[in-house]
Structures are given as C-alpha cells and as structure tokens.
Amino acid sequence: MRMSGAALPVTAAVCVGLGVTSLWWVLPAVGLSFLAGLRTERVRPAVVVFGLLVAAGVLVIGSVPSWIVLGLRFVALAVCAGMGPWLLGRFWRQSQELVRAGWERAERLEREQQLVAEQARLRERARIAQDMHDALGHDLSLIALRAGALTLAAGLAAPHREAVQELRAGAAAAVDRLGEVIGVLRAGDESDAARGPADSDIPHLVAEAAAAGLDVRSTIAGVPDGLPRAAEHAAYRVVQEALTNAAKHAPGAAVTVEVAYADDGARVRVANGPVPVGMPVGMPVGTAAVGGGRGLVGLAERVRLAGGTFAHGACPDGGFEVAAVLPRRPAGPVPPGPAAAPSPVRELRRARRKVGRTLAAVVLVPVATAVLLTVALRVWTLYVVSLSVLDPEVYATLQVGQDQASVERVLPGHRLPYRPPSGPATPAPPSGEGVSCVHYAITAQLFVDRAGDAYRLCFRGSRLVSRDVLTS
C-alpha cells in the first residue's frame, strides 16, 4: 500500500521511538525514512514530524531522569535511522528529477531547433512581403500615374486613349492583387521591419516620382551621416509610402517632401495638396494605402522599431500629410513582447545546484544535528550530576552500621538518576533481601581525574551496610 503526505514520516518516527527499546525497530525505521524522503514531495511534513520527535525525546528524558542513559541511543537513532535515510531519499529523488530534466531539455532543444527553422522561413516571407509592398507597390502606382496623365494628352486617338485607360485600370488591379498576396506572406517577425539598408536615397526617389509626372518638390537639409541604418531605412520608406499614396489617391496634386537631418536625428514630412479639378481620383485623399490599411500601419511600426514617432492625418486645405521623427540615439529599447519561457539551461543549472545542496545536506545536517543533540544531552547530564555531588569529606564521615536517617541528613538532595559504570575491580553490592543502593557523584567537573567516578551507598532495613567508590 502506498502512503503519502505525513503518513510515512509519522510511521518512521514511531519506529525510531520504538528503536530505543529494541534495535529491531531500526530496520523499518530506516526503510520508512528513506521512502518518506523519496516519495514525499513537500519537505515541511517531515521536518515537523522530526521536530516533534526530538521535542518528545527531550521532554521524556527531562521528565524521567533515570532514562538519561538512553539519551545517546535516542540521538543515534534519530540521526542515523531517521534524518540520514530521509535525506538520502531526498537526494535520490532530486537526482532522478535532474536526469528527467536533462532529457526534457534535450527534447526541448530539438523542438526549439524546429521552431527556429520555422521562424526563419516566416521571417523570409515577411521580408519578401515588405519588399513587394515597398518596391512593387510604389512602381505600380507610378505606372498608374503615368497612364492617368497620358489619358489627358491632347490629340490621342480614341483607341489609344481606351488602351491607356485599360493600362491604368490593370495597374490599379495589380496593386490590389499585390495587397492580397502581402496579406498572406506578411505573417512573420515584425523585427524585420527595422533591418536592412535603404533601397536608394531620398533625392533619387523624389526624382523618379517627378519623372513619372508627379508634381513633387523636395527640401533636404543636412546629411544622414551617423544616423542608424534602421532610422535611415525608415525615413526612406516614409517618403516612398507617402509618394505612393499621393500618386494613387491624389494624382495631379502638388506634393512637398521635407527632410531635415540634425544632431538629434531626422525629421521627415510629406504632404500633398487637394486633387485639382478635372483629375481622375481613384480613392479619397487620406485613405489608407496599399493592402487595406497596411501601408500606414506598417510605417508606424517601422518608425516605432527605429525608436521614433509617426503621425498622419488630413490637412486643413483638404490634402494629407505624414510626419516622422527619428532619433539618432533612441531613448530606450523597443517594448519587449510577451515574456519568454524559462531557459532550459537555467532550469538545468538550478536543478544541479539543488541536488548539490541536498548532497551537502546529507552529510552536514545529520552531523550537525548529532553534535547539537549530543552537546545538549551532555549539558543536561552535567546539570543533573551537579545536583547529586557528595562531598568527599562528608563521605569520609559515613560509617557502616550508621542509621539511615542520620546518613540522609548529610547527603545531597538529589541522587544520580542512573547507575554509573564501574571497573572490574569494583566490589559487588551486598546480596540478600531488603538491600537498596543509591549513587552520588564525586565531582561534576569534566576534566579531572575523578570525573565519572561515583559513591555507592547500600542500605538494608534502616542501616548502612556498605559504602564503595565506583571507578569508571
């Protein structure tokens, strides 16, 4: 039958207590103590039971002085048959847990390797989606812008004008399909938005937009030297996305690009005016960009990862603007994601330290407990002995045949509660019926020649019949 909780420690403690009367109880005490350490997960029940066992032993020895001779046996049983096996059981349990933790760590590392490979694929998908959104979306928007401008050209034949309109509609449809593809691919790691160099510089980007027919003016102050690559890349993407939006949603509107590099970072602002009367408009000005709102949301995330701030909104004149502030030295790291799971290496090291501490406790705790209990027992024994010291001069005045009442008047108030050991030369006590012997200590000092020796006084009836010195 399997016992749990405090049942095993209590049963082991009972066996330890019975072992004082018979050493046959030592075997079940050792086995049950070991099982208590092996099977009991909590430490407190065993500690409480062992504490109660020691307290009960101290109380019994203090209440029954004649049992003081059993004190050393009780200490040995409590330590060797109780605490020692229990600590060995705890050590065995924790060593087995360490082995299981090692196997679990190996399995976890294998799963993590698979996750790393999967995350690498997802990051690559996210990078491809980002490049498609930033580069192809921009180029397709410029194609649509050129086609829209061509439809307004004078002298264009009707068939050609219809073909150009179909070209513009096809470019717009391609942009929409691109957004759907991005929605599938863009499921990777968002941190890729902050990595990688810019595809080109901002002046070249503005020049391409102007060559495509966009009415764009730019003002660039300072140089980006020293600007982090993430911030430089974010500034480029802000301008690129804003020009793409202007080309798609506000064709023919004047666009202003302002970039200022300073010691504390870069400031980017792109604003477009209202759409001129008569120009074709695909979507209302200020509507979210390519991919169902992913453009501006992606810009905000990219700027955030670079440590900056991003804002966008409608202008009072009916236009639209985006603005970003990108510091050279971000004030703090990007807010972390959800807390990671505990490191398996850290867990394994913690388990090893725990097993090491238990192994040290297997040796040190029993030794320290045995020393403490032995010292306490020795101090109590010396106290009891000090109360039963018979002065040698008083002993010399005692005479065989003296009346017991007169003898007891000069004896100490306490007797030795145990029979002291004696050497082979010690005479035997008187034989016969009605003989009773009492013992008194010669000295209570430890480091003297007579330490451990005692007086023995034997009475028959009411007379002193012998007085002897017991030499240990």
| The pLDDT of residue 290 | 38
Element (H, E) at 106: helix 84-131
Residue with tokens 């679990």: 104
Q: Within 13 Å, how many C-alpha atoms sit on residue 253's CB side?
A: 30
Whether 132 has a pLDDT exceeding 70, the answer reads no
CA dihedral angle for residue 289, residue 295, residue 300, residue 303, rounded to 10 degrees: -120
| The pLDDT of residue 19 | 78
Q: Which residues of 254-292 are buried (b: 16+ CB within 10 A; e: fewer)?
A: bbbbbbebeeebbbbbbbbbbbeeeeeebeebbeebbbe
Percent residues over pLDDT 70 in the chain: 74
Confidence of residue 163 (pLDDT cuts 50, 70, 90): confident
Q: Which residue has the higher pLDDT, 444 or 101?
A: 444
| Integer Cα distance of 134 and 372 in angstroms | 77
Whether the CB-CB separation of 249 and 318 falls below 8 Å is answered with no
> Taking the chain, what is the end-to-end CA distance rounded to the nearest angstrom?
50
What backbone torsions phi and psi does residue 268 show, to the nearest 5 degrees? -125, 135
| Integer Cα distance of 235 and 252 in angstroms | 24
Instruction: Point out the least confidently predicted range of 219-233, 337-351, 408-422.
Output: 337-351
Whether the CB-CB separation of 46 and 36 falls below 8 Å is answered with yes
CB-count exposure of residue 242 (10 Å: 0-12, 13-18, 19+): buried
- What CATH number matches the domain at 118-327, 3.30.565.10, 3.30.365.10, 1.20.1050.10, 3.40.50.300? 3.30.565.10
| The pLDDT of residue 1 | 43
| The pLDDT of residue 198 | 44
Instruction: Point out the least confidently predicted range of 99-103, 230-234, 235-239.
Output: 99-103
Confidence of residue 380 (pLDDT cuts 50, 70, 90): confident
Residues across the chain: 472
Task: Please give the model's pTM, rounded to 2 decimal places.
Answer: 0.39
CB-count exposure of residue 471 (10 Å: 0-12, 13-18, 19+): middle
DSSP for residue 69: G
| The pLDDT of residue 258 | 93
Question: 57 is written with which tokens?
Answer: 């032993």
Confidence of residue 15 (pLDDT cuts 50, 70, 90): confident
Neighbours of 207 (CB within 10 A): 14
Average pLDDT over residues 214-233: 84
Strand ranges of the sheet holding 463-470, from the earlier edge strand across to the other edge: 435-441, 454-460, 463-470
Element (H, E) at 464: strand 463-470
Spatial neighbors of 359 by CB under 8 A, at least 6 apart, are 91
| The pLDDT of residue 288 | 37
| The pLDDT of residue 339 | 44
Query: Can you name the CATH fold of 389-470?
Result: Beta-lactamase Inhibitory Protein; Chain:B, domain 1 (3.30.1450)
| Integer Cα distance of 255 and 272 in angstroms | 4
| Integer Cα distance of 91 and 287 in angstroms | 68
| The pLDDT of residue 186 | 52
Three-state SS sequence of 138-151: HHHHHHHHHHHHHH
CA 281 to chain centroid, in Å, comes to 58
DSSP for residue 26: H
Whether 324 has a pLDDT exceeding 90, the answer reads yes
Neighbours of 204 (CB within 10 A): 11
**pLDDT, tens digit, for every residue of 334-360?**
454 444 445 556 666 776 777 677 767
Domain boundary assignment for the chain = 7-109+346-385, 118-327, 389-470
| The pLDDT of residue 343 | 57
| Integer Cα distance of 442 and 450 in angstroms | 7
